[in-house]
């Protein structure tokens, strides 16, 4: 794993989003869930809702050009969906009533949380 500023910013952003979700009543089921198909940053649950969360972080200055949520392209969305299918296949208990894909854009200390970002 690289130890450059981007990696540290990403790890800090994920931790910030985890706290944000927990404060809103979500239980974190997994962080950095990896398969050979890809990775999901955060899998959370509240009731029977199950969001798969992609975290994107930008320094405040670079966010003026491209919003972090816009950087989740069609290829990345397809990988997230396939990885989510594998997570769901391993899930025990009742099937979630709602499954959606969210993007948490962290810009500086602020979170722009977009539920159902690419449905």
Average pLDDT per 10 consecutive residues for the chain, totaling 119 residues: 65 93 96 95 93 86 63 91 93 82 90 86
Q: For residue 3, what pLDDT is reported?
A: 54
User: Could you give the CA distance from residue 37 to residue 52 in angstroms, rounded to a whole number?
Assistant: 15
Q: For residue 79, what pLDDT is reported?
A: 94
Nearest to 103 by CA among 16, 11, 17, 7: 17
Q: For residue 117, what pLDDT is reported?
A: 84
* 9 strand-pairing partners: none
Q: What is the CATH number of domain 5-72+94-114?
A: 3.40.1350.10
The CA radius of gyration of the chain, in Å to the nearest whole number, is 14
What is the model's pTM?
0.86
């Amino acid at each position: 794993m690289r130890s450059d500023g981007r990696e540290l910013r990403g790890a800090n952003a994920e931790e910030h989003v985890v706290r944000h979700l927990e404060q809103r009543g979500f239980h974190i089921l997994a962080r950095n869930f990896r398969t050979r198909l890809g990775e999901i940053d955060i899998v959370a649950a509240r009731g029977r809702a199950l969001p798969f969360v992609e975290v994107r972080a930008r320094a405040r200055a670079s966010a003026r050009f491209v919003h972090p949520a816009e950087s989740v392209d069609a290829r990345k969305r397809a990988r997230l969906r396939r990885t989510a299918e594998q997570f769901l296949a391993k899930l025990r208990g009742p099937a979630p009533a709602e499954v959606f894909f969210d993007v948490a854009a962290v810009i500086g200390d602020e979170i722009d949380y977009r539920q159902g970002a690419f449905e």
